[in-house]
Structure 1
């Protein structure tokens, strides 16, 4: 890619293995469907949508030098990602994510991001003391960060002077990892993209709406909180007030990657200069196109 990156995507880049059926499913269901393998992971899903929106992301992640990693790296390069700063390990296998989706939504998923966690701050070398920035010369652009990193590394990032001037956008990756974002509440740094369940876990509270959850996150110290709730209203909360919009009604055919698509479209719209209202609308429209199947896999 010859164009300089205008956003860094930090976190999981792996193979998504997704089984999908139109049938409603429950524990123990055995139904016909399709199984696909595609490049995925939160950071990768965000980068894919950013490329679709005309932006030029660089990936900061870990991959193995195994055949799966070499194939994944080639795919990332083909899709237009800047891959110069990816940490390539001869000892760690390439990570994977496996999900089963039915007509009634996500049935179960397992994220195996152990290699990313074991790589630790090696994935940040270019940003902490390298060509992208350092503590004395912080990176000043957009960063999309996902919660698949360890608590220790996320805590380091939240307080690091190397990130002090960045426009930092953070997502937890899953409800099970939501509490990893507590350091960003404590530091009052970053825009948090969470769903209603994740917001409740972060605040140790129970909320009945995205608007209430956004207010709760702001009260806990969040710089900015964008909270989704499936097909119910979404909220964007800042010190200037809470904006609420209702997503378009669509037939849901897939759910994996919807939150990542929403986040990326929101970032891209604001990068282009859209107002808060217009950016939220653009993000909800992009997420609706994704879950309806209108947006194809690359």
Structure 2
């Protein structure tokens, strides 16, 4: 694999320990009134499980691993607790070659933790404890070791808009390009979020999230509405494909290839980080869409957000087309 370790990318945001639980007792049942697939658990019952898998997650650590496996100088900036879950997050990052000099330990709160109930179709219900990740603040990053690099990848910040503003100011001061994949907390204030986007090079979100911020009934309309805000707009729509604007054209790509979906956890992180990795090394939008889609495809075939992340760029050609606007 070719390396790009002269290009430095700092990923900022959540870190968690994830536990995946699987069993027939967790399979959805059809609701007779709404016909929706729902999960129902009787109070006081003990449910038998068939399998339990432990992994680490959090959008920023997932992205940091993609960048490391793609040969970049990758760093993670975030917060964990002083507990076994935090120790596991740290162990995995170090194993993957991710720099952790910007990682901070919260003495009071535990590491973020998610219990993920997996269905036999790869869909999941997540019980999430945000813990130390939700206490991330700007002061955590301004000490003797200033964040420097070529790119800053910002993932969910638990709705801390003040932290987002200060990170963007820091990136501008350090001449770092910014890729931003906002979480639910940041998306909850669309007007304020739009006002912060001037310093963002690549904005990435799924269709529903983009529509919340920019409106538009069709994905193409949403991308058109977003184009004045950032040089690159990336809208993902799950199995339906993805749309990208580079400020001149809008591109569409379908699935990289059809595979059996085992677990969708981390698929969005894999796509976004793969796209950013390609753009950071100077690849075309077509190549960036291919790497993003291939990385996401690799992830959904495994349990956990990191196992299937790609280690190679030997990818098949993917059909990418320009959309008429």
- TM bucket by the smaller chain? 0.7 to 0.9
Residue 40 of structure 1 is matched in structure 2 by 57
Larger RCO (alpha carbons 8 Å, 6+ apart)? 2
8 Å contact kept, 1:141–1:166: yes
Residue among 224, 230, 255 paired with 2:232:
224
Residue among 4, 27, 31 paired with 2:39:
27
**Normalising to structure 1: TM-score of the pair?**
0.83
8 Å contact kept, 2:263–2:300: yes
Secondary structure, in 3 states, of the residue corresponding to 2:245?
strand
Instruction: Sort the Cα spacing of 1:107 and 1:131 in 2 relative to 1 into closer, same or farther, 3 A.
Output: closer
Matched, 1:72 2:89: yes
Distance 2:185 2:170 in 1: 28
- The CA RMSD measured in Å over matched residues stands at 2.8
Instruction: Sort the Cα spacing of 1:122 and 1:15 in 2 relative to 1 into closer, same or farther, 3 A.
Output: farther
Residue 215 of structure 1 is matched in structure 2 by 224
**Normalising to structure 2: TM-score of the pair?**
0.77
Cα distance per residue 1:136-179 (max 9 Å; x no partner)? xxx45111111234122123334x25435221011123x46523
Instruction: Sort the Cα spacing of 1:278 and 1:64 in 2 relative to 1 into closer, same or farther, 3 A.
Output: same
Q: 1:121-132 counterparts in 2 under 5 A?
A: 121-125=138-142, 130-132=144-146
Instruction: Sort the Cα spacing of 1:69 and 1:24 in 2 relative to 1 into closer, same or farther, 3 A.
Output: closer
Give the drift of 1:269: 1.7
Q: 1:165-244 counterparts in 2 under 5 A?
A: 165-173=175-183, 175=184, 177-179=186-188, 183=192, 185-187=194-196, 188-190=198-200, 191-203=202-214, 205=215, 207-209=217-219, 211-219=220-228, 221-244=229-252
Cα distance per residue 1:248-276 (max 9 Å; x no partner)? 32221110000111111112222332111
Q: 1:1-16 counterparts in 2 under 5 A?
A: 6-16=8-18
- Runs (5+) with no aligned partner, structure 2: 29-37, 42-46, 310-325
Q: Which moved further from structure 2: 274-283 or 286-295? A: 286-295
- Runs (5+) with no aligned partner, structure 1: 134-138
Distance 2:61 2:234 in 1: 20
> Which structure has the larger Rg over C-alpha atoms?
2
Distance 2:237 2:52 in 1: 27
Q: Which moved further from structure 2: 81-90 or 160-169? A: 160-169
Instruction: Sort the Cα spacing of 1:259 and 1:242 in 2 relative to 1 into closer, same or farther, 3 A.
Output: same
Cα distance per residue 1:8-67 (max 9 Å; x no partner)? 011111211222458852221667542222111111111122222222311111112223
Distance 1:108 1:6 in 2: 35
Secondary structure, in 3 states, of the residue corresponding to 1:264?
helix
Matched, 1:110 2:112: no
